Amino acid sequence: MTETGRKRPWLAALLAFIYPGLGHVYLREWLRAILWFGLVVSTTTLLVGGDVMPDALSVEAFVAASQALPLEASVALLAITVLSMADAYWMATKENQATEVVEGHTCPNCGQELDEDLEFCHWCTTRLEPADVDDA
């Protein structure tokens, strides 16, 4: 997190590339992170046989196991990784836009600057709730 509370979308996507769900942990989207973790585990359990899993915790055993993965499991795990990266990037961007609206005195509909004396946006005529005007 930076000093202004903004998240870095590229970092969220990079973490999701390392393991699907890590980008969501960075964003503190706990439910989404658990869902991505669970999707990887369930896909691996369903598509990968027990004979492929490594017996020991060594680099050579994991390399051999990754080379023995069936094609459909590799494609499914790649798709999950790409979708997790896109979702983490989108969530970080969305959170940053919401932060800008609150901090920047802008209209939640069009993003233009608000006049604090008006109860509507003079750019797009969106009616603002009194709480929106007071917060902005």
Domain ranges of the chain: 9-103, 105-136
Integer Cα distance of 47 and 130 in angstroms: 54
The residue behind tokens 């492929």 is: 52
Residue-level pLDDT at 102: 52
Compute the average pLDDT of residues 8-13. 95
Amino acid making up residue 5:
G
Residue 100 confidence (pLDDT): 63
Do 65 and 52 meet the contact criterion of CB atoms below 8 Å apart? yes
- pLDDT (0 to 100) of residue 42: 92
Mean pLDDT of 76-97: 94
Q: What is the pTM of this model?
A: 0.65
How far apart CA 73 and CA 76 sit, in angstroms, is 5
